[in-house]
Structure formats: C-alpha cells, structure tokens
Amino acid sequence: MTRVSIIIKAYNEEVHIASAIESALAALPSPEGEVVLVDSASVDKTLECALPYPISIFRIANASERCCGAGPQIGYAHAKGDFLCLMDGDMVLDKEFIKTALAFLNDHPDVAGVGGRIDEMSTENIEFKNRARNLSHLNPLGEVDRLAGGGLYRRSAIDELGYLTDRNLHGYEEFDLGARLRSSGWKLVRLNVPAAKHFGHTSSTYRLLFHRVKMGYIFAPGEMLRASINAGYFARVIRSLREFKLWVAVLGYWSAFALLALFTSYGAAFAALALLGVAAIILALTVWKKSFSNGTYMVIGWHVFTIGMLFGLFRPRISPLKPLTVETLRLSR
C-alpha cells in the first residue's frame, strides 16, 4: 500500500499547530502513512501543543540553522513515505487533497509534484490582502514552475536530486525545488482542487516587513540565485522569477542616478530628481491600487527586497547535503 509522509514545518505556531496536525492526520490515505513535524526552535508553546499527537517530532537544535529550507529537508531525511506532502504549521490541509494528488501522480509518471488551490484566510495586512486578490496569478493552474504553499511530491524524483530543500534558503525553497526538478526533466502541476487553507501573519503591514528582515527572509532571493549559479540552472530561475526584473530595475534606477550625481556638476539636482521619480512611482501605484498605503508599501518593499537580494547573493553557503543538527523529541509508531 502507498505510504505518504506529511511533513509540517513550524516556527512559533502555537495558535495553529493543533489544527494543522489534526488536518494532516485526517488526510492520510492509509494507516501506513505518517505525519512528521519539524520545529524550527520555536520559543512559544508549539511543541507543547504538538506532543500529545501520534506523530514524529524533530527540532532544529541550533537556532542559527533555522530557515525555511531547513525544516522540510529534515523531514525528508527522516520520512519513510514513497510520497511527501509539504505544508506549513499555519495551514489546514484539505482532507481529500492527498487522495486526489496520488491518483494524478499514478496516472502521470512524468510529474514529480502536484499542488492545489491555497486559500488565504488572513488578509489583515497589505501583503496577504494583495496575495488573496492575486491568487490566480501567483498560483496558476496547470503545469507550473513551482508549488508555492506546498504539495505532494514523488519521493523517487527527490531522491534523484539528493535533497529536498536547500538548507541555506530563508525562503523561495519551493521555487528552488521546482527549478531543480524541472531541470532534471520532471513536471509540476497545480490542480483545480482545494489543497489547504493558509492562516498567515495577522500583524500589521510594516511589522510583518520588519519580521521578514529579522528572520532573514529578504535574503532568500539572493540565496536562491547564488544556489542556481553554483548548480547551473540560473537561466531557468531568472526566466521564471518575475521579481528578478523588478530588482534589476530598482538597482539600475539608483545606480544611474548615483553615477550622475557623483560624476557631474549637478549632483544635488540629480539626487532631487531621483527622489521625485520615486514619488511619481508611488503616485502611479496609488492610482492603480486605489490606495496610498498600498502604493507606498509596494515601493518600500521593492527596495527592502532588492537590498536583501544583494546581501543574500553574497552570503556564504553550506553544502545542501550536509545534515543539520536535530533533536528527536518523538517517533510515531
């Protein structure tokens, strides 16, 4: 009988972790399946809430190794399933998704992973409100380049790659996984079926942005680009990564004005013109989005992530194959 391992990655999810685990247990298609929770050194009651459940629980022992790519990789290293389902600790998995995804994978041997629709349930801040409005654009149906938000993967395809997710990545780990799978000839498909409900951050817009900075998430694009350069799939990444052109545009904008300001006699004038240009962009976005706060946040976010991309690009890397330091808290039977 097919065995499925559901891998949940979590960090400070005491509010949602019980619902996530219960939904995962309910979605297992056979008694031989398992749920594997990987906790990223949470400082709240996530583990206390999770321990009563009949699941395997692992904890990243070294908080400095905490990042989005570490949790799923630890789960992969300890999972026993022929198929691996990835989800976050703030998600509720649809009970029928795995059965539907398994049937599709069995009928399509050239497909490595299957996703479904992810419903954004938290729209208190601008980021998640925009994400909910643009789900069809962010998570298109059919053959896709990534399974953002998780999905069901064929383990044999992952074994060919040598690792599931890159332990160096503070984000974009599913994008990177998709690029590696597709470079190896595999396909990814998102079905028009419910997969999970996502209960994201409910903090204010700029508090969430600060959280992204604090947790290193803004380094992720650069880290992924660095990984793709080292492994030879950079061209595939930049073709698929829509944000890349935006970051290049931001860098080009400021570089051009900086050169004009430094090497001409009209430095102050060019500096003022650059700031006026930013104001004009904010005004245009305000009209387009019908919201000054949204327009302002978008421009600030572009700049923060562009700077983060540069830092991430030059961060030192550890081999993705190197095991992480893990504490085993519980093994399911």
Q: What is the pLDDT of residue 127?
A: 60
Write down the pTM of the prediction.
Answer: 0.88
Q: Each residue of 89-146: pLDDT tens digit? A: 999 999 999 999 999 999 999 999 999 999 888 666 666 565 555 554 556 889 999 9
* CATH number of domain containing 87: 3.90.550.10
Strands (E), the chain: 4-10, 34-39, 56-60, 83-88, 91-93, 111-120, 142-144, 152-154, 187-198, 326-330
Q: What is the mean pLDDT of residues 236-240?
A: 87
Residue 260 domain-assigned (yes or no): no
Query: Which tokens go with 35?
Result: 């749920």
Portion of the chain with pLDDT greater than 70, in percent: 93
Which of 17-26, 194-203, 282-291 is most confident? Answer: 17-26
Residue 91 domain-assigned (yes or no): yes
Identify whether the C-beta of residue 191 lies closer than 8 Å to the C-beta of residue 141.
yes
Q: Among candidates 169, 310, 296, 317, which has minimal Cα distance to 230?
A: 317
Q: Each residue of 134-168: pLDDT tens digit? A: 554 556 889 999 999 999 999 999 999 999 999 99
Q: What angle do CA 188, 189, 192 make, to 5 degrees?
A: 160
d(CA 92, CA 94): 7
Residue 217 domain-assigned (yes or no): no
The residue segments making up the domain with residue 187 are: 4-202+321-330
Q: What is the pLDDT of residue 128?
A: 58
Residue 83 domain-assigned (yes or no): yes
Residue 125 domain-assigned (yes or no): yes
Q: What is the pLDDT of residue 200?
A: 74
Buried b (16+ CB within 10 A) or exposed e, 35-67: bbbbbbbbeeebbebbeebebbbbbbeeeebbb
Residue 309 domain-assigned (yes or no): no
Residue 295 domain-assigned (yes or no): no
Q: How far is C-alpha 87 from the chain's CA centre?
A: 10
Provide the domain count of the chain: 1
Residue 227 domain-assigned (yes or no): no
